[in-house]
A = this chain, B = another copy of it.
């Protein structure tokens, strides 16, 4: 029985040693073939465009263009893009979200052992539906939307005004806010007025809505 077409892999990592190690692990498998390497994001885009691999192992931190943007460019520029697996060091990295957002097919930790690495590459290459498919992408997209860039007015709020808005969004009255902040009721009214002016809100309810919609309440 003749060997099936091997899975063609490109490695993108700025550290030569990492590439060498990955190549050693993957080349030991008969069905895997490392066809190219790249040391920068820009190089990765170029190499993938030329070699058309099945799978790309993409490091996140790279010179020039990071792995996320490289992934983005590759997936946007090609008709039949490869499956891109993003590789990073820490699993609670914020890059995980970015990787999912731009359409990476998978996510792998650098401390994964050889079995996991090889298994992931095979799984990603073969199956339309690998672990955590479209639904997780949707999740990430939603997360990105929820953490969207806050409007300009957020930066313009002073410290006290931010505090007041937070208390407003907790459903407190002006008098209650005054007690909590240990200032006079008149002071709170002044801050509230500033908040309304800066947010463009007519009343405290609209200000609270703006606080929710802008994600203001999710920041420190």
Contacts and interface: CB of A to CB of B under 8 A. Distances in A.
A132 B123 CA distance: 13
B126 A123 contact: no
Interface stretch (A65-73, A180-188, A203-211): A203-211
B116 A119 contact: no
A124 to B, nearest CB: 8
A171 B129 contact: no
A206 B168 CA distance: 9
A93 interface: yes
A29 B122 CA distance: 16
Count of this chain's copies in the oligomeric assembly = 2
Interface string A181-217: 0000000000000000000011111101100100000
A2 to B, nearest CB: 18
Contacts of A168: 205
Most buried by B among A111, A124, A131, A205: A131
A106 interface: yes
Contacts of A143: 139, 142-143
A47 interface: no
Contact of A126 (B115, B134, B208): B115
Contact of A91 (B129, B171, B206): B129
A87 to B, nearest CB: 11
A35 interface: no
A84 interface: no
Contacts of A122: 115, 119
Contacts of A108: 129, 131
Interface of A: 85, 91-93, 96-97, 100, 106-109, 111-113, 115-116, 119-120, 122-124, 126-127, 129-136, 138-140, 142-143, 146, 168-171, 173, 201-206, 208-209, 212
Given A106-B132, A123-B131, 19 more contacts: A91-B135, A92-B135, A92-B138, A100-B136, A106-B131, A107-B131, A107-B133, A107-B135, A109-B129, A111-B129, A115-B122, A120-B130, A132-B132, A132-B136, A139-B143, A142-B143, A171-B201, A173-B202, A205-B205
